[in-house]
A and B are shown apart, each in its own frame.
Chain A
Amino acid sequence: MTVYLSLAGVLFLIGLHGFFTAQNLLRRLLALNVLTTAVFLLFVVMARLADPLDPVPHAIVLTGIVVTVSTTAVALALVVRIAGRVRDDGADAGGGSGGDVG
């Protein structure tokens, strides 16, 4: 269990670091997902440490996974609106700063 607890800690730090320091919005989203995964890992390890396996954190983590995918989808739609290009090659970038967000 200590392996998974320290894994949760390290992933939490990686996610936090990426979320705060990444310039690119997509990388920030990936870091946010890693962050949420680390928190879920902590929940499940705590559930495992209880004597009969505790199913309530499992249900909470399932809820969390669905909420995370919803958040990621909305954030991706917004990022694409901010920084996306029109699909045809050679056309001007649509909206925002165009091209990759830097």
Chain B
Amino acid sequence: MGVAGVIFDGLLALALVWLAWQATRAADLFHAVVSFIVFGLLMALAWVRLEAPDIALAEAAIGAGATGALLLSALDRLATRDGRRTLLYEPATAWGFWIPAGGALLGGLTLAAWQLPAPGLGDEVLAALKLSGVDHPVTAVLLNFRALDTLLEIGVLLLAAVTIWSLGPAPSPLVPAMPSPALPALGRLLFPVFVLVSGYLLWRGSHAPGGAFPAGAVLGAGAILMLLAGARPWIRSSEHGPWRWILSLGLAMLLAAAISGTLAGQAFFHYPPGTAGPLILLLEVAAGLSIALLLFALYLRGEPCEHGYGESGP
């Protein structure tokens, strides 16, 4: 790997540790949240160094982007500007306990991990790749070999959105203190780019790092940008009722693909031979759209109201 590589990895690791420490122990909550967002971005660099480009894309879009937007939006509600700056009583780190206990825990886990068999499934995946309908191993695993995980994961995302919506009406979106014409102009300029990039990532997933998750995350980020630029969410039930069903489109299509195999007499989640490629593309489009809208729904933090918005408190 070379000395330069090791130096780079070491510096990256130090930066990540310091940022993680700031994220959990910084006095100012805003400081902690921003440290966490930068942590997510540097983590994307670490994923690239570990030869995991799909995860790097997902971490940059979802881990740093979506989580950062969620945290900042929640931070604004949590306390007054002065209130959240103060460090409420945080107990000092009891180093005398944590260093030995942490060391023992790490030592035990390392010992356990050492004794695990580690054959790896790379060979099997590469051997079966031609039958899977796509050319990229991670996409093949996500949408063909382990499609059940993807089904359950989109189910969890939908469940989270439903839970958040059930908590009450959406709070009114944040309005900048000094409205600038730059933000709506930025929204108008960039949203087509968001759609283009998201479509490109989706199409690319069949032969290169990409796929439904980064695509959905990029499109969801575009939707959040439009909301911040002053657009109003159009998934209210009165006006655009049917559009709400796109939220469950991904889950519905994956379930349909899964059960249709069973109904035809084959195994659960059996794709008919030869149709795996187009079927995977169709499922990716549905999943990507769903993920985009679900991330947007998570950001809204409540059910979009018919007329105006509800209060932000319970």
Please give 9 more A-B residue pairs, beta carbons under 8 A apart, in addition to A33-B63, A76-B71. A4-B49, A10-B17, A29-B71, A40-B55, A62-B55, A62-B138, A80-B78, A81-B314, A84-B78
The stretch from B102-110, B235-243, B253-261, B268-276 touching chain A is: B102-110
- With a CB–CB cut-off of 8 A, which chain A residues contact B121? 50, 54-56
Give the complex CA separation of A56 and B146 in angstroms: 8
CB atoms of A45 and B50 under 8 A apart: yes
| Contacts known (A33-B36, A84-B78); A11 close to B138, Cβ less than 8 A | no
Give the complex CA separation of A77 and B256 in angstroms: 31
CB atoms of A4 and B50 under 8 A apart: yes
Residue B38 lies at the interface, judged by CB distance under 8 Å to chain A: no
CB atoms of A27 and B47 under 8 A apart: no
| Contacts known (A23-B89, A56-B141, A63-B153); A85 close to B313, Cβ less than 8 A | yes
- With a CB–CB cut-off of 8 A, which chain B residues contact A40? 55
Give the complex CA separation of A20 and B177 in angstroms: 37
Q: How large is the interface on B (under 10, 10 to 19, 20 to 34, 35 or more residues)?
A: 35 or more
What DSSP secondary structure best describes chain A's contact surface? Answer: helix
Query: What sequence of 0s and 1s flags, for each residue 23-60 of chain B, a beta carbon within 8 Å of any chain A beta carbon?
Result: 11100010011001001000100110111101100110
Q: Which residues of B contact A (CB under 8 A)?
A: 6, 9-10, 13, 16-17, 20-21, 23-25, 29, 32-33, 36, 39, 43, 46-47, 49-52, 54-55, 58-59, 62-63, 66-67, 70-71, 74-75, 77-80, 83-84, 86, 88-91, 93-94, 98, 102, 105-106, 109-110, 113, 118-123, 125-126, 137-138, 140-142, 145-146, 149-150, 153, 156-157, 159-160, 163-164, 167-168, 171-172, 213, 291, 295, 298-299, 301-302, 311-314
What DSSP secondary structure best describes chain B's contact surface? Answer: helix
Residue in B113, B138, B164, B311 whose CB lies within 8 Å of A74: B164
- With a CB–CB cut-off of 8 A, which chain B residues contact A78? 167
Give the complex CA separation of A80 and B52 in angstroms: 35
Residue in B77, B118, B122, B295 whose CB lies within 8 Å of A87: B77
